[in-house]
C-alpha cells in the first residue's frame, strides 16, 4: 500500500511520491526567487565598480569559464549539505558580475533601463509559459535532454569563436538560438521536477537558474541590437 499517494517512474531513473515532488518544486521556486537577489547585487556592483570594463574579450571569457565551471562543480559537491545554498547564492552573485558588462552597455542607451525591464518581463513570461506547460504535458520529455545538450554545447563553441570574431550577425543568430534552446531546457528541467526525475532542489534551482539567465541575456542582447536608442 502507498497510502493512496501516487508513486511512479517517468523514465528519469527516479521514483517519488506526489508530496515529495511538490516539496522539491516548492523549495526550488523559493530558492530560485532568492537567487535573483545576489544576481542583481552582483550586476549592480560590477557596473558601479567598473568591473564591467575588465570583462571584455578573452579575459572575460577565461574568468567566466573558470568561475562558472568551478562554482557548478562546488554546487554539485555540496548540494546535499548545509553549504549547498550559500555556494549556489555565491554563484548567482558571480553570474551577476559577469552580466554587468552587458548591463553597462545597455544602460549606455537612452532607453537602457526600459530594455532591461523588457528583457526581464520577457524572461518571466517564458518561465510562466514553460511552468504551465510542464504541469499539463503528460508525455515523457526525458529524450529531449541529449539534443538540448548538443545544442547548448554548439552555442558555447559559437560563443567562444564570436568573442574573437566580434560579429554582430553572429551574436544575433546565437541569441535567437539560445532563446529557443534554453526555453526548451526550461520546460525539460521543470518537467523533470514535476515527474520526480530531480529530487534535489539545489540541483533543480541551478538548472533552472542557468536556463533563465541565458534567456534573459539573449533577449537583452537582441533588444540592445534592435531597440537601443543612442543620445
- From 40-49, 57-66, 216-225, the region with the lowest mean pLDDT: 57-66
Domain coordinates in residue numbering, the chain:
16-227
Model confidence at 48, pLDDT cuts 50, 70, 90, reads: confident
Model confidence at 7, pLDDT cuts 50, 70, 90, reads: very low
C-alpha to C-alpha distance for 177 and 180, rounded to whole angstroms? 5
Q: 191 and 206 in contact (C-beta within 8 Å)? A: no
Q: What global pTM score does this model have?
A: 0.87
Give the torsion through C-alpha atoms of 170, 176, 178, 181, to 10 deg.
Answer: -140
Residue 118, C-alpha cell as written in the block: 523588457
Q: pLDDT, tens digit, for every residue of 82-138?
A: 899 999 999 999 999 999 988 988 998 988 899 999 999 999 999 999 999 998 988
Residue 170: exposed, middle, or buried by beta-carbon count in 10 A (0-12, 13-18, 19+)? middle
Provide the 3-class DSSP secondary structure of residue 112: helix
Give me the long-range contacts of 133-136 (CB less than 8 A, separation at least 24).
Answer: 133/187, 134/187, 134/190, 134/191, 134/193, 134/194, 135/194
Amino acid at each position: 500500500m502507498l497510502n493512496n499517494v501516487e508513486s511512479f517512474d517517468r523514465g528519469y531513473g527516479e521514483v517519488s511520491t506526489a508530496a515529495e515532488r511538490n516539496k522539491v518544486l516548492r523549495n526550488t521556486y523559493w530558492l530560485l526567487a532568492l537567487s535573483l537577489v545576489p544576481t542583481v547585487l552582483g550586476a549592480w556592483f560590477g557596473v558601479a565598480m567598473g568591473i564591467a570594463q575588465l570583462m571584455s574579450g578573452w579575459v572575460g571569457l577565461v574568468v567566466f569559464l573558470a568561475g562558472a565551471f568551478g562554482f557548478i562543480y562546488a554546487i554539485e559537491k555540496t548540494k546535499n549539505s548545509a553549504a549547498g545554498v550559500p555556494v549556489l547564492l555565491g554563484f548567482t552573485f558571480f553570474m551577476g558580475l559577469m552580466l554587468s558588462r552587458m548591463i553597462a552597455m545597455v544602460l549606455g542607451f537612452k532607453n537602457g533601463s526600459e530594455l532591461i525591464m523588457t528583457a526581464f518581463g520577457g524572461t518571466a513570461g517564458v518561465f510562466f509559459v514553460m511552468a504551465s506547460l510542464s504541469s499539463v504535458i503528460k508525455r515523457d520529455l526525458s529524450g529531449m535532454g541529449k539534443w538540448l545538450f548538443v545544442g547548448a554545447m554548439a552555442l558555447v563553441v559559437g560563443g567562444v569563436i564570436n568573442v574573437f570574431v566580434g560579429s554582430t550577425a553572429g551574436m544575433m543568430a546565437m541569441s535567437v538560438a539560445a532563446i529557443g534552446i534554453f526555453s526548451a531546457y526550461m520546460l525539460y528541467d521543470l518537467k523533470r521536477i514535476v515527474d520526480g526525475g530531480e529530487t534535489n532542489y539545489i540541483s533543480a534551482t541551478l538548472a533552472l537558474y542557468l536556463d533563465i539567465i541565458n534567456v534573459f541575456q539573449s533577449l537583452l542582447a537582441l533588444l540592445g541590437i534592435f531597440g537601443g536608442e543612442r543620445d
